[in-house]
A and B are shown apart, each in its own frame.
Chain A
Amino acid sequence: MKANTSFFHFFRFPILFLFICGVVGITGCTTPGSSIEVKQAPAESLARYKILAVDVTSKDPDFSPGYVVLLSNSLVDDLRKSGRFEKVYDAPYTSERDANLKLSVLVEFSVFDNVKSIESSVTLTDAAGGKTIATALINAHSESAFLGGQMTNAINQLSDRIVDFATQR
């Protein structure tokens, strides 16, 4: 189920419309970006973890399963390219269970306005003992554009920041 929003009466006052366009034109120059707030830093080096399982979920239905797959694929690709781990796989789509480190990404909130944004909580867990090793809140957003920024750009920003967090030694 979806609620929808529509805008009208914009053209009742053309001067006001032009004024709003001016304000938006001046202030709407956002470029893609991301931020991280580390809630729990690793107490010891993560160098001994060699096999990583990635698990992405969303509690915001606006961030649809298609976007979950995009983020998951981007993370797995980028983590493999980093060369930090001997093996990286997408946990929900494999029967492999040999990971000693688990990267859980929960998309808490997403906004599909002109600027697309994602707020997520990220957890690194010792897969053998289940102990939480590190946690962080990581947010990312797209650029602003005349026809709206691209969610894929926000996803790429988020993926880059999560990879930085997961590949720390």
Chain B
Amino acid sequence: MKIKISRLTILGFSALFFIGCVSPRSYNFWGIGGLYPINPGMNYGYFDRYRTIDTLSPELKWHDVKKPNQTYDVGIWETPYRSIDDIKKKAGQADTSWGIFIYQTNNIPTNYFQLPISLKPDTYYNWSVRVREGNKVSRWSSFSQDVDYASVIIAHNDTPFGFKTPTQ
């Protein structure tokens, strides 16, 4: 069987691909029982998903999903990212660490938590929440972010919540 592919078809697909590279579309899918961050929020773009906050001791707030007999744990990880370029460099990795685990607290009865420590300025942090019932805990909450580059969809799974601290 002879397959005919016109130059116009190849040109069209090439153009689609490059247009897709310039303006990828992102979709966030929140996981682990509907746990998602309220403050600081996340941007709908994988590379610039970290919003810059205005304090080194933020109050973290998330969608409340726990039952009356449950509490929350909060964890914070310091990432090695120094810029959006670094996020782009690691975007193609199959697995990416959440960073160095720097803080954890447990048995929080509310869906918000005022961080009692001062974080480093101009630093990218990941954070997450899990539900605790006595000694039983859920997985750390995360989300999936799909980036659509024209026809190629890249799924970034198990992505933690995050923010960037201000330069001081």
Binding site for B on A (CB under 8 A): 1-10, 12-13, 15-16, 19-20, 59-62, 108-114, 117
Contacts and interface: CB of A to CB of B under 8 A. Distances in A.
B142 A3 contact: yes
Given A3-B159, A19-B13, A113 B93 contact: yes
B99 interface: yes
B142 A5 contact: no
A1 B157 CA distance: 12
Given A13-B13, A15-B5, A19-B17, A7 B97 contact: no
Contacts, number: 106
Contacts of B67: none
Given A2-B158, A3-B159, A111-B89, 15 more contacts: A1-B97, A2-B95, A2-B96, A5-B154, A5-B155, A9-B152, A10-B152, A12-B151, A13-B13, A20-B17, A60-B80, A61-B99, A61-B100, A62-B97, A109-B89
B98 A3 contact: yes
B80 A108 contact: yes
A5 to B, nearest CB: 5
Given A5-B94, A59-B80, A113-B93, A16 B151 contact: yes
24 contacts: A1-B98, A1-B158, A2-B96, A3-B95, A3-B98, A3-B142, A4-B94, A4-B96, A4-B158, A5-B96, A6-B157, A7-B154, A8-B155, A9-B152, A9-B153, A16-B13, A16-B150, A19-B10, A59-B80, A62-B80, A62-B96, A108-B82, A109-B89, A114-B92
A112 B92 CA distance: 8
Contacts of A1: 77, 97-98, 101, 128, 140, 158, 160
B63 interface: no
B37 to A, nearest CB: 15
Interface string B127-168: 010000000000010100000001111111111100000000
A13 B15 CA distance: 14
Given A2-B97, A19-B13, A109 B82 contact: yes
**Contact residues of B: prevailing secondary structure:** mixed
Contact of A3 (B14, B100, B150, B160): B160
Nearest to B100: A61
Contacts of A113: 89-90, 92-93
Contacts of A59: 80, 100
B116 to A, nearest CB: 22
Contacts of A4: 94-96, 156-158
Contacts of A61: 80, 97-100
Nearest to B153: A9
B23 interface: no
Contact of B13 (A15, A110, A114, A117): A15
B69 interface: no
Contacts of B90: 62, 111, 113
Contacts of B114: none
Given A15-B13, A16-B17, A3 B152 contact: no
B160 A6 contact: no
